[in-house]
Amino acid sequence: MLSFTGSPLDRADNIRGDKDALAGLMNWKARLLALDGLTPSLTDEGRLAWTTLADADPDAELVFLGLDEGKACFAAVPPRGDSAPRLANPALWDLMATLPTAELALYGGARSIVDWHARHRFCAQCGGTTRIAKGGWQRTCENCGADHFPRTDPVTIMLVEHDGRMLLGRGKGWGEGRFSALAGFVEPGESLEEGVAREVLEESGIVIRPKNVRYVASQPWPFPSQLMIGCHAFAETDDITRDETELDEIRWFSRDEVAASLSGSGPFIAPPKQAIASYLLNWWIER
Ligand SMILES: [Zn+2]
C-alpha cells in the first residue's frame, strides 16, 4: 500500500456541519492528537500518542479529524504553520518511519489540515480575520463572510517510457546519483494529461501526446498538501533537451538499470519507499 494512504478514520462529514452533534462529541472521551507544532509525539511503542481535549490550549482551534471505532478524534491548530520544507527534516522522517501504515496516513492527513488552518488565518478576498467552521473543514471570514476550503494541489508524476527505457531526472540540489520520475503541478485550465505532456516537454524536450497518458495511482503528500497523481506515458521522441533551471541531470535508463537501482545495486539511488515514485518504478518493473 502507498504511504500516507489507508487512514482508519471515518471522516463523518455529516457531523462536521452539525454544531450540536459536534459539541456532543467534545467530551472527556474524545481524543486529541499529540503534536508539538506539526511534529507527532510517539509512544514508547512507536505509535501516535493521543491525549484528551483537556490538554489543548484553550485558545487553540480544534479540527474534527473523524471517528476511530466510534471515538471522536481531534487535532489542535498550532500557532504557526510550516514555513520551511520539512522534507529536509531527517528527525521527522525517522519518526514517521516507525509508524504503522494506517497511523502514518492519519498523521499525514491531520498535518495537512492543521497546517492549512495555521497559514490561512486571514481572508484572501478582503484581508479580514477568518475563523474555523464545519468542524475544521472550512474557514469563514468574519468581515466579508467568504468561505475558504482546505487546499489539495494536484501534482503529476510520470513514468515516461520509450523503447523499453525510462526517463528519470535529478532535480536541482539533489544528492549525486539520486534520480526520480519527472513531476510538476497541474496548472489552471489544464487536464491531467495536458499537464503531464507540458511538464515533460518543459523539463526534457520529449514529446508526449496527452491521449497516450494513463493514470496509475495517486498519493496524498502532506508537505504541505499535494495530491501526487502517478501516470505512465509512451514518448513520441527520445532526444533530450534538459531544463537547466529545474534539473541537474536527465537521462534514459534501461529496465535492468531501474530494477538494479530499486534493489540498491544499480547506477542511481532510487527514490525513498514512502514516495509514489518508488511505487511507480516498481509497478513498471513488475508489469
Ligand atoms: Zn473576507
Q: In what order do the strands lie in the sheet with 138-141?
A: 130-133, 138-141, 147-148
pLDDT digit string, tens, across residues 71-100: 999 999 999 888 776 566 888 888 888 999
Q: How far is the CA of 144 from the centre of ligand 1 (A)?
A: 4
The predicted structure's pLDDT at residue 97: 87
Average pLDDT, rounded, for the chain: 95
What pLDDT shows up at residue 66?
98
Segments of the chain with pLDDT less than 70: 85-88
Q: What is the pLDDT of residue 87?
A: 64
With CA atoms as reference, report the closest residue to 283 among 145, 99, 158.
Answer: 158
Which residues, chain by chain, have CB under 5 Å from ion ligand 1? 123, 125-126, 128, 141, 143-144, 146
Half-sphere exposure of 283 (CA within 13 A, CB side): 20
Torsion of CA 108, 135, 155, 178, to 10 degrees: -20
Domains of the chain, residue spans: 13-119, 153-286
**Check: CATH 3.90.79.10 for 153-286?**
yes
d(CA 150, ligand 1 centre) in Å: 16
Give this prediction's pTM: 0.94
How many A from CA of 127 to the centre of ligand 1? 6
Inter-residue contact 158 to 231 (CB < 8 Å)? yes
pLDDT the model gives residue 30? 97
Reported as a single tens digit per residue, the pLDDT across 100-140 is: 999 999 999 999 999 999 999 999 999 999 999 999 999 99
Question: How many Å lie between the centroid of ligand 1 and the Cα of residue 255?
Answer: 53
